Amino acid sequence: MSSGESPTVAALQDVLAGEHAAVYVYGVLGAQTSRSRQRTLYEDVIGAFLAHRQRRDRLTATITRLGDQPVAADPAYDVPADLSTSTHVEAAALHVERGCAKAYAYAIANTTGADRRWLTDALLDAATREIAFRGSPQDFPGI
């Protein structure tokens, strides 16, 4: 957190950084799936990509509205070297969703009102996506 940056903005910046990574990784995962051979996985990955892109854009707007400069995306992110099977793609997607869920949980504790409600919805979506990517249900996702 930079000097003068509120805990709310700092938490939102962390979530935004995670969303930048999610959009990047899901773009790579989408290129590793086939609509004709892996229809369900392909649709889950593309759906996740679109959801995370929308969240990234909303977070950028929210941070700007709060008077701060949104954190920029890195030029590249770590992606597993082996994405040759559906199992590997699902594992990578599960890792992304778990990371986002942790960032959402932290941000929820540092926000109020509409921002908190929106982040709670995002956390619930990430927890649901974890199950789609062969994760196990958790009592308190993101914690």
Could you tell me the domains of the chain?
7-132 (1.20.1260.10)
What CA–CA distance (Å, rounded) separates 108 from 84?
A: 36
What CA–CA distance (Å, rounded) separates 143 from 128?
A: 15
Question: Is 41's pLDDT higher than 90?
Answer: yes
Q: What mean pLDDT is predicted for residues 25-50?
A: 94
Residue 106 in tokens = 């932290």
pTM: 0.89
Over residues 97-114, the pLDDT tens digits come to: 999 999 999 999 999 999
What CA–CA distance (Å, rounded) separates 70 from 75?
A: 15
Over residues 61-82, the pLDDT tens digits come to: 999 999 999 999 999 999 998 9
What CA–CA distance (Å, rounded) separates 115 from 117?
A: 5
What CA–CA distance (Å, rounded) separates 107 from 114?
A: 13
Classify residue 139 by its DSSP letter.
Answer: S
Question: Is 143's pLDDT higher than 80?
Answer: no
Question: Is 2's pLDDT higher than 90?
Answer: no
Q: Which of 140, 25, 32 is nearest to 86 (CA)?
A: 32
Give the model's confidence band at 142: pLDDT under 50 very low, under 70 low, under 90 confident, else very high: low
For the chain, what is the mean pLDDT? 91
